[in-house]
Structure 1
Amino acid sequence: MGSRSQFRPCIDLHGGEVKQIVGGTLQQDESTLRTNFVAKHPPAYYAKLYADHALRGGHVIKLGPGNDAAAEEALAAWPNGMHVGGGITGENARSWIERGAEKVIVTSYLFPACRFSLERLLELEAAVGKERLVVDISCRRRGDEWVVAMNRWQDLTDMVLSQETLDLVSAHCRHVHAIYLHSELLIHAADVEGLCQGIDEQLVTRLSEWVSIPTTYAGGARRTYARRLIFADIEDLELVNRLSRGKVDLTFGSALDIFGGRGVTLDALVAWNRS
């Protein structure tokens, strides 16, 4: 794990298009769906953009059915440079590696009937290897706890985020080898996803205490207008860096200029990563 938080890119797919969605509104009945952005460009455009800036490990997330072809297009634009998630199972995980994903991201498959299954985690570990497995712990806040959520973040599971549960999961996506990096955890804060109203600072702080492998946080990142900072338009990245002591990376979605946001530019994020 590095000593400084990094920007991690994403490509969210819905209905075969690149979109930015308010996470809590993504339900089976899409009458309540709130969308911040629908791209005019195809998925490959964004994958190529990330490749040009050497932003490895971007997350291609399939939000519901009808996104396989779009995901394949993104992976083909940067083979072995991006991770793919959404509908990943023990049966299809290996095929996504073969289609060009560097790693596969899994959530719902690990929770049949909303209960955590170590057996399924071991199945995925055997299918792709620890070094190619990313566990997405999407969660919703309930009181002073964060409960893992699945099925478009609508169903709560029996897993509560803690040192113990993250250690359990991390043990099966941790691999030390001369030619591989560790794999990682992806933490979606579903309650603030897409709102651009700020990160869940308490969650990021707790993650810094709990995580033992590379971890990326997603949800709520925005621009603020403080002028005292060198990187004033990406203050949330500086905040995550400080709260997590550089142990947690950050994804910008709806706030980012390439997704219709105002103020947070891809160029500034690339400069942060390189500086």
Structure 2
Amino acid sequence: MRVFPAVDILGGVCVQLVQGKRENRTAYGTPLENARRWISEGADSLHVINLDGAFEGSGKNAAQISEVIRETGVFVELGGGIRSVGDAGHWLDIGVDRVILGTLATKQPEAIAEIAKEYGSERVVAGVDAKGGQVVVNGWEDAVGDYISWAKRFEELGAGALLFTNVDVEGLQSGIRSEPVKRLIESVSIPVIAAGGISSTADVKTLKSLGTEGIVLGSSLYSGKISLTEVLEICR
């Protein structure tokens, strides 16, 4: 199971939010500093999110994202603010290993097929951000339908993997809810990466036992509640 430390960027700074709200943020320094920290502890992959892009569709933070790609040399998946096939192609062309499509995947599902055709399905991840069983987009404000139905459609369109974020527990450091993850894994045949609520080695072991392809570590990792070294040992 692959481990993706999160590098979430807001206003050029690496932050962690609670429940996706900008007012509930804690700053942790520069994105590159944090990327290097996690790599020094054994990470070989990073989950980079342009939060300004996620909220505003902004090109802000491009310099910081490019620096992380250029200076680390590890596997990088990127989400946030990717509003078109052109946006996705830009990042894939300059070194991002795969892009995460959130709002774009629901508003223009055909974009998944276009990107997969040009770059390969393994470079396209469809975001399945679920709240109460419904996919939520636009900063988790708007519900657009059942998460399993959307996941199946994303798979049919050519997504190489799904990023499942359980918004109900995201950022709360209170543990995962395994049933929605289990249901999703059983409903599709492509890999599922899980995010939201992972706060203990027990959570990690549970997700591994379910057959999760990867996990994203955010708030609990930054607060010190969970150890990256211990998680990597479990996943290996």
- Is 1:136 aligned to residue 101 of structure 2? no
Aligned twin of 2:152: 167
Aligned twin of 1:81: 75
Deviation at 1:241, TM superposition (A): 2.3
Aligned twin of 1:206: 183
Aligned twin of 2:55: none
- Please list, as runs of the form range in 1=range in 2, the aligned pairs for 1:1-275 lying within 5 A after superposition: 5-26=1-22, 33-35=23-25, 37-40=26-29, 42-52=30-40, 55-64=43-52, 65=58, 66-79=60-73, 81-88=75-82, 89-112=84-107, 117-141=108-132, 146-157=133-144, 159-162=145-148, 164-173=149-158, 183-223=160-200, 234-242=201-209, 244=210, 246-256=211-221, 259=222, 261-274=223-236
Deviation at 1:118, TM superposition (A): 3.2
Deviation at 1:90, TM superposition (A): 0.8
Q: Deviations over 1:156-212 (max 9, x none)?
A: 11x3122x54232123445xxxxxxxx321111122111111112221221231231
In the alignment, the residues of structure 1 paired with residue 158 and residue 31 of structure 2 have an alpha-carbon distance, to the nearest angstrom, of 27
Percent of pairs with identical residues: 27
Deviation at 1:137, TM superposition (A): 1.2
In the alignment, the residues of structure 2 paired with residue 129 and residue 47 of structure 1 have an alpha-carbon distance, to the nearest angstrom, of 26
Q: Secondary structure at the match of 2:85?
A: coil
User: Larger % of helix: which?
Assistant: 2
In the alignment, the residues of structure 1 paired with residue 124 and residue 189 of structure 2 have an alpha-carbon distance, to the nearest angstrom, of 15
Deviation at 1:52, TM superposition (A): 4.5
Higher CA-based Rg: 1
Structure 2 residue runs of 5 or longer lacking an equivalent are 53-57
CA, structure 1 residues 23+69, in 2 after alignment: closer, same or farther (shift >3 Å)?
farther
Task: Work out whether residues 31 and 64 of structure 2, in 8 Å CA contact, stay in contact via their aligned partners in 1.
Answer: yes
Normalising by the residue count of structure 2, what TM-score does the alignment of the two structures yield? 0.86
Deviation at 1:72, TM superposition (A): 1.3
CA, structure 1 residues 54+212, in 2 after alignment: closer, same or farther (shift >3 Å)?
farther
Task: Work out whether residues 53 and 270 of structure 1, in 8 Å CA contact, stay in contact via their aligned partners in 2.
Answer: no
Deviation at 1:11, TM superposition (A): 0.9
Normalising by the residue count of structure 1, what TM-score does the alignment of the two structures yield? 0.75
Deviation at 1:87, TM superposition (A): 1.3
